[in-house]
Structure 1
Amino acid sequence: MTMTTVKVLTTMLGDIGGHHYGYDLMKQVGIGSGTLYPLLARLEQAGLIESNWEEANPNEVGRGKRKYYALTSHGQAVAQLEQKKLKQMISVGGIINV
């Protein structure tokens, strides 16, 4: 699992009940859309996240519809495991500047 994937999963883990949309994740993780959206598609295909389109009327909210992503229960378990591995690597000096 790549560091970018771990960052996305742990960002989503920070708000387990939340639904995250792409632009928000891009800002939080610090990656571009060309990296994020293929990554989200792979995570969804693997069953780690699920997505749905918001039901808001674009004319009422003044923007296009957002697609929201949320961790599945399996995704939460994987994210927690990867977060634990990352913390262990950091504690033994295996990674700098996460």
Structure 2
Amino acid sequence: MGKPPKMTIPTQLVLRAFLDDPTREMYGLEICAAAGLASGTIHPILARFKGIGWLESWFEDIDPHEAARPRRRYYRLTPDGAEHARLALAKAYSDVSKLAALRTKTASSGA
């Protein structure tokens, strides 16, 4: 596994979309809808996840002329990727919680 990605809000949204059903196969527009993000935002994230081994991908086996649409590229979390995604989201949530607690403590102390 490669270095974990920076846990930006879009990255977290994509991971949450996959973790809703970790064995589900999704194609780009499904991921966009589930994460609430544009295609131009999710595809670089998907490429990073694929590069570090968190996702696997493949093109569906159809004839684009018969289907009257381009082939779809499907993505799915790898078993290791699902575990790493859960841990990364938990850490990101913990980090945000610590910052919020620190802000509350600082604000109440009058600093």
Q: What is the TM-score when the length of structure 2 is the normalising length? A: 0.71
Which of 23, 26, 38 is matched with 1:20 structurally?
26
Asked which structure has the greater CA Rg, the reply is 2
* Count of aligned pairs between the two proteins: 94
Is the counterpart of residue 78 in structure 1 residue 84 in structure 2? yes
Q: Deviations over 1:24-83 (max 9, x none)?
A: 111111111111111111110011101000002223333210000000112101221134
Instruction: Write the distance in 1 (CA, Å) between the matches of 2:95 and 2:17.
Output: 18
Is the counterpart of residue 58 in structure 1 residue 64 in structure 2? yes
Instruction: Write the distance in 1 (CA, Å) between the matches of 2:48 and 2:96.
Output: 26
| Superposed counterparts of 1:4-43, under 5 Å | 4-43=10-49
Supply the AA of the counterpart residue of 1:19: E
Supply the AA of the counterpart residue of 1:58: P
Supply the AA of the counterpart residue of 1:22: G
Structure 1, unpaired ranges of 5+: none
Q: CA RMSD in A?
A: 2.1
Q: What is the TM-score when the length of structure 1 is the normalising length? A: 0.80
